[in-house]
Structure 1
Amino acid sequence: MIDFTFTYGDLEIFLLILVRVTMFVYIAPFFSMNNTPHRVKICFSVFLSFLLYGLAPVNTLEYSTVLGYTIIVLKEFFTGLIIGYSAQICTLIASLAGQVADMQVGLSMVQVMSPNSREQVPVSAGLYQYSFLAMMLVSGLYRYFVSALADSFLLIPVNGAIFNSDKLLNSMIKFLSAYMIIGFRICLPIFIVTFMMNVILGVLARVAPQMNMFAVGMQLKLIVGLLIMYITSTLLYNASDFIFSNMRQMITEFINDLM
């Protein structure tokens, strides 16, 4: 006979699972989009927590006061925050690449409203972000996020996280430096072409000072920059595949740092 009893202790454990899942949903890419209603996020977090409740092993909760339980809640809060942020960092690569590209072609002052973040973002940054988001949907990476969250409860039980600041800081610095390089590599063709054009225009300005190089250069850099961006758009698939593989590696390493 199935026992459907739900004690006060079970409720405490469920709330702790809900805290970690909710923080992950509100931070991780795809799930944390601002144009998604909060009611949907909360309902999804509760449903996912209900599914994970029967799977997650639980250590004995040892506390004697409300302050002790609050500390456990904060541990689950930061555990979900760190795991979700480890995935969110990877999506910033597209924004970085777009900002550098817009700066080179003269579109850094052109801003559009992003429905995802509800902030003003450069044109190319928004284009790259939605391109990577579409590839994330096609590749099914969102399923990996849910799987990684479920595995985190197996590797890091409730109240089982160990926050080693040295390991977390070293992992953060390593991946941030790597993602800065990856973001720059995405826009590297545009950077090289515009740099060569600046050199050529500088030489022409010395040879023919009567020419208005500023007016000619702005239009020429914009046209050539957009052309290079169109040509290199076919490489976004390989770049996104490389970023997604590093995203999986980063999530795994951060989970290991919390064990």
Structure 2
Amino acid sequence: MVDLSFSIYDLEYFLLIFVRVSCFVYIAPYFGMNDTPARIRIGISFFTAWLLYETLTPADAVVVDTVMEYAVIVMKEAIAGLLIGFGANICMAVVNFAGSIADMETGLSMATLLDPATKETTSITGVLYQYSFMLMLIASGMYRYLFGALADSFTLIPVNGVVFHADSLLQSMTEFMSDYILIGFRIVLPIFCVILLLNAILGVLAKVSPQLNMFAVGIQLKVLAGLTAMFLTTGMLPGAADFVYQEMKKMVVSFIGGMM
């Protein structure tokens, strides 16, 4: 006969695990997208928390005396889960940055659309890159690493063991901002070089043939050259995704280290 009895301490301990996991799923890449059904996110959070609860020793249950103490622990676990998910999610912003540069160079910066995932107005190339990188995130199994990092965080940072080090977290964000621009330009570098070469050619033609309207001709050539370069460099996206995923791993580890 299955014994489903549990104590109030076990319930409190499970809820603390559930809070950290649910906050991570709420903001993590792919799972935190607005077009992901809420029932799916709740189900993933619940069953992941249940598996972690069965793995962790119940002897580590947190005993509190007042509701206020328990509320403080809940807030600490929620912030810990949000920071771990934020460390992974912020790296996907590099893709939108690269798409904005590509659209600015090709003359498509005015053609924006509403991203159903973020409910924000983004560039066309940014949305294309974002969904391509999300697809590669699932195909490459990167989501397993994210959940593995979340599970390991309970070993490194036990429940009610979160200690926030502001200097370490700030240093992680500062290092990320330096890599943010570098990775973004690496993604869009082929398109940037093609448009730069095209601008040089148009500048020479404008001097050689002043009677030609290079402004009208240049707009069409930039769009054609930009789309052609984007099509020819599609095979380079997996390599660019590796840069983003390596940065994602680095940010998750540094954020966990900043809470130990």
TM range (shorter): over 0.9
Taking every aligned residue pair, what percent have the same amino acid on both sides? 51
Q: Which runs of 5+ in 2 are unaligned?
A: none
Query: Does the Cα contact within 8 Å between 1:18 and 1:45 map onto a contact in 2?
Result: yes
Q: Does residue 1:118 correspond to 2:119, yes or no?
A: yes
Matched, 1:160 2:161: yes
CA distance in 2, matches of 1:61, 1:53: 13
Residue 11 of structure 1 aligns with an amino acid whose one-letter code is L
Aligned residue for 1:52? Answer: 52
The 2-side partners of 1:181 and 1:62 are apart by 47
CA contact (8 A) 2:23 2:82 kept: yes
After TM superposition, give the deviation of residue 52 of structure 1 in Å: 0.9
TM-score, normalised via structure 2 length? 0.93
Query: Unaligned 5+ residue runs, structure 1?
Result: none
Deviation at 1:62, TM superposition (A): 5.4
CA distance in 1, matches of 2:16, 2:183: 36
Of stretches 76-85 and 90-99 in structure 1, the one that deviates more from structure 2 is 90-99
Q: Does the CA contact (< 8 Å) of 1:59 and 1:159 recur in 2?
A: no
Give how far 1:12 is off. Answer: 1.2
> Aligned residues, how many?
259
Amino acid of the structure 1 residue aligned with 2:25: V
1:134 alignment counterpart: 135
Partner of 2:90: 89
1:150 positional shift:
0.8
Cα deviations by residue, 1:24-48 (Å, 9 ceiling, x for unpaired): 0010101111111112211221111
CA distance in 1, matches of 2:61, 2:197: 64
Displacement after TM superposition at 1:4 (Å)? 4.3
CA-to-partner distance for each residue in 1:143-166, whole Å, 9 max, x for gaps?
Answer: 111111111111111111110000
Shift of 1:205: 2.4
Residues 93-150 of structure 1: per-residue CA shift (max 9 Å, x gap): 1111111000100011112332322333211111111111111111111111111111
Q: How far apart in 1 are the matches of 2:177 and 2:84? A: 15
* Paired amino acid for 1:33: M
SS at match of 2:233: helix
Normalising by structure 1, we get a TM-score of: 0.93
Residue pairs, 1:148-227, within 5 angstroms: 148-227=149-228
Asked if 2 retains the 8 angstrom alpha-carbon contact of 1:56 and 1:157, the reply is no
Deviation larger for 202-211 or 89-98: 202-211
What is the CA distance between 1:2 and its match in structure 2? 8.0
Stretches (4+) displaced over 6 A:
none
Moved more, 114-123 or 54-63: 54-63
Give the deviation of 1:87 after TM superposition: 0.5
Q: Structure 1 stretch 75-84 or stretch 2-11: which is displaced more?
A: 2-11
**SS of the counterpart of 2:122?**
strand
Return the alpha-carbon distance in structure 2 between the equivalents of residues 205 and 6 of structure 1: 80
- 2 CA distance for matches of 1:103 and 1:231? 19
Instruction: Please state if 1:109 is matched with 2:110.
Output: yes
